[in-house]
Amino acid sequence: MNWVEAIGYAGTVLTVASSAMSTMIPLRIVALTASCVVIIYGLMIGSFPVVLTEMIQIPFNAWRLYQMVRLVKDVEKAASGDLSLDWLKPFGKARQFKAGQVIFRMGDEASEMFTIESGRFRIPELDVELGAGDVVGELGMLAPDNRRTGSLICVESGHALCLAYSEVKQLYYQNPEFGFYFLKLTSERLFQHAGR
């Protein structure tokens, strides 16, 4: 085996290793390294389809790596005191609500959480009013039966970012750091509500 083949085998090992990883940040780093090694190998053997394939994959892996690193930093910031969930915007959908609309009732099955962007909302069971920047509905994801612990009614028309629990769980499983900081953030919110 010559050194050109050794580079090719190294690229193969790195590619297989990245496929076997379960956490996103190390996976993306190894995938980027594998692409670079395979590009070098492709250029040495004159295989431009191999080079092209890897060059197409590099921007995708680099973008996903950037998103995950930014997400972890934003969650760390949120967990250390800034309880804003703005970092979840790329993963949610904006919805509009009208005054008097019942978004959910206590005991309903919970499948999503909301970050309020405008308007006013009320949790009647706690006699709490929520506005821009407040988060509601995240505790249903942690409840053993996934049921709402209170109702939410729109008092003044507004918008909220809706984030499905499936999205939160996917982020949680893909990145253990995200999971840790999200649980810390949710616990702080739980203690805040208990204090009220």
In the predicted model, is pLDDT for residue 89 greater than 80?
Answer: no
User: pLDDT tens digit string along 22-59?
Assistant: 777 888 999 999 999 999 999 999 999 999 999 999 99
**Pairing relation of β-strands 152-156 and 102-104?**
antiparallel
What pTM, to 2 d.p., does this model score?
A: 0.54
The answer to whether the beta carbons of residues 31 and 135 sit under 8 Å apart is: no
What's the whole-number mean pLDDT along residues 105-129?
91
Using a 10 angstrom Cβ sphere, with 0-12 exposed, 13-18 middle and 19 or more buried, the burial of residue 142 is middle
Q: What is the CATH number of domain 86-195?
A: 2.60.120.10
More confident residue, 192 or 152: 152
pLDDT for 128 equals 86
- Three-state secondary structure of 104-145: ECCCCECCEEEEECCCEEEECCCCEEECCCCEECHHHHCCCC
pLDDT for 55 equals 95
In the predicted model, is pLDDT for residue 113 greater than 70?
Answer: yes
3-state secondary structure of 147: strand
3-state secondary structure of 164: strand
Q: What rounded mean pLDDT belongs to the chain?
A: 83
* Token reading at 99: 């005054």
Domain layout of the chain by residue ranges: 3-80, 86-195
What CA–CA distance (Å, rounded) separates 172 from 78? 15
What CA–CA distance (Å, rounded) separates 24 from 54? 19
pLDDT band at 174 (very low <50, low <70, confident <90, very high): low
In the predicted model, is pLDDT for residue 105 greater than 90?
Answer: yes
Residues for the chain: how many in total? 196
| Cβ neighbours around 88 below 10 Å, total | 21
In the predicted model, is pLDDT for residue 194 greater than 70?
Answer: no
First-to-last alpha carbon distance for the chain, in angstroms, is 70
What CA–CA distance (Å, rounded) separates 110 from 38? 46
User: pLDDT tens digit string along 144-169?
Assistant: 888 898 899 999 999 998 988 888 77
